[in-house]
Each structure stands twice: as structure tokens, then as C-alpha cells.
Amino acid sequence: MRTRWPACILWMFFLILFFGLAQAGAQTRDVRVAWVPDGDTLILEGREVVRIKGIDAPETAGNGRPDQYFAQEATARLEELVQDRGITLKTGQVSEDRYGRTLAHAYLPSGENIGLLLVREGLAFYYPHEDQDESISRALLRAQQRAINEDAGFWPRVLQQHPEVETWVGNKRSKRFHHPGCGYGQRMSGHNRQEVETLREAFYAGYAPCRRCTPWPDDDM
């Protein structure tokens, strides 16, 4: 005779299995930083490249392009935070990006989330992904909203870009937003489409800019 397990026991077993697998994909380790190439990237001793998860900072010069606006300020601040001290990295189930860089949240010895500090100071913006921890994502978005409200860092100038655009196009699934002329935005399904009137509205709602049609200023001119 087959034994029928109560639904509550089966549900508890599923939860234990799910969270066990999630933890199995996570890793915490202490490291030291050798070099900071930009405001969201760390080169560790041993040459491992770490991309700080959940944020995006202005790009430094490379491949023939100039620094983006506030790139040097973001790089200098990150270097100040990590120089001459060990930090802790916490990876999730997705531990690498498509370029082979380690994806991790980075923490100071005090326990402060480095990405959160950069967003709070207006040196980086929140960059959502589906696999991110929800509590960290909420904290990053709140920090971004506060930085916008306080005109911190790059926000006053960034939010003044492209005043001629009447409506930006947000993707509710990917949480990216597009210039109305962007091909990626034009191919978006109507189900995922969300129109936003201003850059402030887009960033405040947690959308990050499409890299192809980013509204970011190139430099500090």
C-alpha cells in the first residue's frame, strides 16, 4: 500500500530543497583589491576581475571613447573605500557574467554594502537583474531615490539630458528603459511596455538605461 504524504510535509520538503540549492550556489570569501579600473569593477590580487552586482557606474575611457560624466569621481571613491583593507565578496547562484567576470556584492569590514554606498552618494545607479536578492534590490532602489531627491553626485546633470524626449519606453520584464527611437525598445512586446515621461520617473521607478541608447553624458564638458 502506497504511503500518501500530507501536503504540508511535501511543501516543507520542497522549501528545504529549494533554499538548500540556493545556498549551495552562494559563496562568501575575504579578498584584497589590487586595482580599481572604474566605479563598479575591482581587480583582485591574483588578477581576478569582480563586477560589483546590482549597480552600474559611469564608464571610464577605453576603445576610443572618452570618460563618461562622473567616471573619475566614481572610480576615485571606490578606490578610497577599498584601498589598504580587505573586503568580503558574496556571490549568488549566478557567479559570473558573460565576460567571465565574477559577479558579487562587496562589503567593507564594517559590513556596509559598497554598491549601496556608491548609489547613495550618486556615483552609481541601481542595475536590476532577476537573480538578485530582493532585500538588497529594494535597499539599492531606496538609496537611488534618496540620491535623486538630494541631487547627489551625477543626478542633477544626468536628469537634464534629452529634454526634447516626451516619453521614454520602459520594459517591465527586463527593467530597462529606452529612447523612443531605440530599435530594442521598438521591438518590445506591448505586454512589457511601460511609458515614462521623464528620466527622473524612469530611474525613480528602478529602470536602468539600455546600453545602446543610454542618455548618459560622455564627459564633464
Query: What is the spatial order of strands in the sheet that 176-178 belongs to?
Result: 193-196, 168-171, 176-178, 208-209
Q: What is the dihedral of CA 12, 13, 15, 21, to 10 degrees?
A: 160
Q: How far is CA 170 from CA 100, 111, 191, in A?
A: 28, 34, 11
Binning pLDDT at 50, 70 and 90, where does residue 60 land?
very high
- 219: enclosing H helix or E strand: none
Q: Which amino acid, residue 118?
A: L
Residue 29 near residue 88 (C-beta atoms within 8 A): yes
Structural domains for the chain: 24-149 (2.40.50.90), 159-209 (no CATH)
Tens of pLDDT, residue by residue over 160-204, are 999 999 999 999 999 999 999 999 999 999 999 999 999 999 999
Please give the span between the terminal C-alpha atoms of the chain, in angstroms, as a whole number: 79
Q: Is the model's pLDDT at 11 over the cut of 70?
A: no
DSSP string, 146-210: HHHHTT-TTHHHHTTS-TT-S-EEEETTTTEEE-TT-HHHHTS-TTTEEEESSHHHHHHTT-EE-
pTM of the predicted structure, to 2 decimals: 0.85
